Structure 1
Amino acid sequence: MGRLLGRSASSWLSLIAVPTLIFGLLYAVPIGNLVNLSFTPGDGAAATGSAYTLSTYVDLLSDEFVREVFLRTIRISLITTIAAAIVGYPISVYILSVVGWRQTAMFILLLLPLMTSVTVTTYGWLILLGHGGAVNNLLMNLGLIDAPLRIIKTEWAIVVGLVYTLSAFMVISIAASLQSIDQNHVRAARSLGASPAKAFWRIVFPQSLPGLRTGCLLVFSLSMSSYATPIILGGQTNKFASLLVYQQAINLLNWPKAASLAVLLLLTTTGCLVLASGFSRVWASARRLNATDVPIGSSGPAQASSVVS
């Protein structure tokens, strides 16, 4: 028995060693070098000393412009995440409600932005949202506006571009959760007199929250690090944190400052994700505590009967 357990443990360790090594080489080592460079004194590509310093972080955190850029990045990423959830949830429901060529066509349309260069799709939105673009022409033909609106080089243009590009991650995450829901619960609730809206809110929506949470985390993290869409649709007046990193590293060749900005962006994104994950868990726990009418281990019909009560 002891030999069997030893072999099993050895097999698991050997299995874990390979992905751990790959993770260390491809992620941990570059991040470690980035953090090390961020503490290096200097204002150019080469370090000016061997001692570590916090002066770069102090300068960045005390710079009002940098704080404004980071707050704008967080704000637009949050708006993008909420908009992607609002748009993606009905699409996920529709995709699972159809079969055959309709479902295939929806998946193709959904994955099309991921199969096309982000720069190409963003320039497409630049044409559509421009002064003489299709959006302004449509609004003027409908009589809703008298003159073209200024849409390009605004935060809302960035949101539109990011939602179009990143909605696929939201839809796929939500659809995976919706597909795992036992439809017998919904049918039992409907047979007991629950309305479609009540059955959805009490049965379907709570069970789809893990997928919704995963989609929100994916969209938010990708929005925080996006570069092409904000610079093309937002212009120089709506800079993202990623643009500051690019300017310091490529234009100004100030690698320690670029590394510090990258580390701050990583910490900001991670902190927001941790806060959002903690809030979602607290909210889910509160929902479970409020649902005292459903006993643990109840069957589908018992759960459905609590919906109509």
Structure 2
Amino acid sequence: MTRTGSARWLRSWLLLIAVPLLVFGVFYCAPIANLLRLSFSVAEGQTGANADGLDIYAKLLGDEYFLLIVWRTVKLSLLTTLACAILCYPVSMVVAQSKGWAQTCLFIVLLMPLMTSVTVTTYGWLILLGQAGVVNSALMGLGVIDRPQRLLQNETAIVVGLVQVMSVFMVLSVAAALQSIDSNHVRAARSLGASPWSAFWRIVFPQSLPGLRTGCLLVFSLSMSAYATPGVLGGPRLKFVSFLIYQQAMQLLDWPRAAAMAVLLLIVTTGVWGLASAYGQLKTWRRRQAEAAVPAFAQAGRQGAI
């Protein structure tokens, strides 16, 4: 390629990515930069030692109550992600294998909760899990329990509510990965004597891991920032970081502290994203190394035979 052709190609490439970079900078980088600036600012009426912006982060990282809520947020988000992965994978297989109107109906059923407010959906769980709710009434009618059980304002209720809200993201991510798998690979494995379980475990499941990883990251990120579901089902005793951010910003009007909490929440979420991406890159590198080693091993074997 000539120098003129290279310059033209570079100019075309820069023009192509200019609009996405502009949109990314305006709608993501600029708000994050403003959030960082606000977290290092000083709230009105604070003087002396409290006037140092770093003092907010120092106090938050040394606050056992805040760290406990961060740990609860991370723990329940991970449990929600694990539950979605286990429960939604079979559903994704059904969606991927269905055809025509059946698949359309399944997609409509999956997407229908997104058409309703999360707050309204969460309040539906109050009717189901309340003291006089459907679940307690059914269990008492069957004789399983003698008196209503406390099914709300606990961590299990929060996970159940989050799984119901986030499951659609997991199903769509895994179903997209399953639909991209060539079915001839499975047929070839079955023709060579592999059992259905062996064909699934060695062919289908490894190729669906990118979709499963994407779904897990989506569910975890959305669960970390959830507000309505933990607030309604967990009650005032089991708070998430999002509730503390709202409380600091809207009730106490301490915007720098709320911004610092948001920054720490973003760092934790991004850290998990980074670890998952690094793990995926490591798995890809190992697979490529193994694939590259097979031809070399075969070549060495042929030379030894000669």
- Give the TM-score taking structure 1 as reference length: 0.88
Shift, 1:87, TM fit: 1.3
Match of 1:160 in 2: 160
Q: Matched residues in 2 for 1:285 and 1:3: separation?
A: 37
Aligned position for 1:21: 22
- Structure 2 gap segments, 5+ residues each: 297-306
Aligned to 1:273: 273
Q: How does 1:202-217 map to 2 (within 5 A)?
A: 202-217=202-217
Distance verdict in 2 for CA 1:104–1:57, change over 3 Å: same
Question: Following superposition of structure 1 onto structure 2, how do residues 117-136 of structure 1 map, counting pairs within 5 Å?
Answer: 117-136=117-136
Q: How does 1:2-41 map to 2 (within 5 A)?
A: 2-41=3-42
More moved, 131-140 vs 274-283:
274-283
Give the whole-Å Cα distance in 1 for the aligned partners of 2:198 and 2:145: 40
Say which is worse superposed, 8-17 or 175-184, in terms of deviation. Answer: 8-17
Residue identity opposite 1:128 in structure 2 = L
| 1:199 Cα offset (Å) | 0.3
Give the partner amino acid of 2:55.
Answer: S
Quote the offset at 1:75 in angstroms.
Answer: 0.2
* Residue type of the alignment partner of 1:27: Y
Partner of 1:189: 189
CA distance in structure 1 between the aligned counterparts of 2:15 and 2:159, rounded to whole angstroms: 45
> How much does 1:9 deviate?
1.2
The one-letter amino acid of 2:252's match is: L
| Contact 2:245–2:262 (8 Å) recurs in 1 | yes
| Runs of at least 5 residues in structure 1 that lack an aligned partner in the other structure | 297-309
Q: Which residue identity does 1:187 align to in structure 2? A: R
Higher fraction of helix: 2
What's the CA shift for 1:106? 1.1
Q: Which moved more, 1:137-146 or 1:151-160?
A: 137-146
Name which of structure 1's ranges 125-134 and 197-206 shifts more when overlaid on structure 2. 125-134
Partner of 2:304: none
| 3-state secondary structure, aligned to 2:77 | helix
Counterpart of 2:259 in structure 1 is 259
Given that 1:118 and 1:165 are in contact with CA atoms closer than 8 Å, whether structure 2 keeps it comes out as: yes
Partner of 1:116: 116
Deviates more, 1:275-284 or 1:9-18: 275-284
Aligned-residue RMSD, C-alpha: 2.3
**Identity, % of aligned positions:** 59
Match of 2:229 in 1: 229
Structure 1 residue 47, shift from structure 2 partner = 7.4
Change (3 A) 1:197 1:295: farther
Greater shift, 198-207 or 277-286, is seen at: 277-286
**Corresponding residue for 2:218?**
218
How far residue 288 of structure 1 moved from its aligned partner, in angstroms, is 6.9
Change in Cα spacing, 1:13 to 1:283, as seen in structure 2 (3 Å) is closer
Contact (CA 8 Å) 1:40, 1:47: kept in 2 or not? Answer: no
Which SS does the other structure have where 1:237 is aligned? Answer: coil
Q: Distance in 1 between matches of 2:16 and 2:265?
A: 33
State the Cα deviation string for residues 241-273 of structure 1 (Å, max 9, x = none): 000000000000001100110101000111122
Distance 2:287 2:11 in 1: 42
Which residue in the other structure is 1:299 paired with? none
Tell me by how many angstroms 1:98 deviates.
Answer: 1.8
TM-score by length of 2: 0.89
- Alpha-carbon distance, 1:60 to partner: 0.7
